[in-house]
Amino acid sequence: MKADELLIEDHGVIRGLLHQLEQSRSEHAAERSELLDRLLSVLDVHVQIENDLFYPAIRDVSPLYAIAHAEHRQIDDQLAVVFRTDPTSEDFHTEVKMLAATVEHHASEEEQEMFPQAKALGETELETLGQAMRQRQQHLRTSAVSQTRLRIKRETLRRL
Ligand SMILES: [Fe+2]
Ligand SMILES: [Fe+2]
């Protein structure tokens, strides 16, 4: 699978989880927390493969990586706010909506501007890059070290 196709597939999962979070109700706080944990896991791996593999590979063909890095930090900050917000409160829905809007702005920019520019790398390069990203994605999803890192990040966010 090509690098841009892999990232678009991920965006679909992220959009789906955000949609479920937006639809979730304050009486179902446990469900909200579980969805939020899943969103953190998917977003964390997604941002790592973009920051470490995709963005460096497209630097010469797309200037958008610089603003994209800044948007990743913004998404991280807003995700931290959602973690800090009581899932039984009205505020939770408001914060999720704002996070979803930021993520949508960022993902659309990648899909509509950055990925078309990345096509200048050529099909073979995008395919090779996609394979490397898939391997890293699977490693990050399963390795004990990254699972521990993610658990600590989750616990830290909940304690703030
Ligand atoms: Fe991104
Ligand atoms: Fe992305």
Average pLDDT by stretches of 10, the chain with 160 residues: 98 98 95 96 97 97 95 97 94 97 98 98 98 98 95 88
Residues 6+ apart with CB under 8 A from 90: 26
Q: Give the pLDDT confidence score for residue 160 in this predicted structure.
A: 66
Q: Print the domain residue range for 147.
A: 3-159
d(CA 111, CA 15): 13
Query: 47 C-alpha vs ligand 1 centroid, how far in Å?
Result: 6
How far apart (Å, rounded) are the C-alpha atoms in residues 39 and 154? 11
Distance 11 CA to ligand 2 centre (A): 6
pLDDT for the residue 158? 87
CA 151 to centroid of ligand 1, rounded, Å: 22
User: Does residue 50 contact residue 114 with C-beta atoms inside 8 Å?
Assistant: no
What's the domain count of the chain? 1
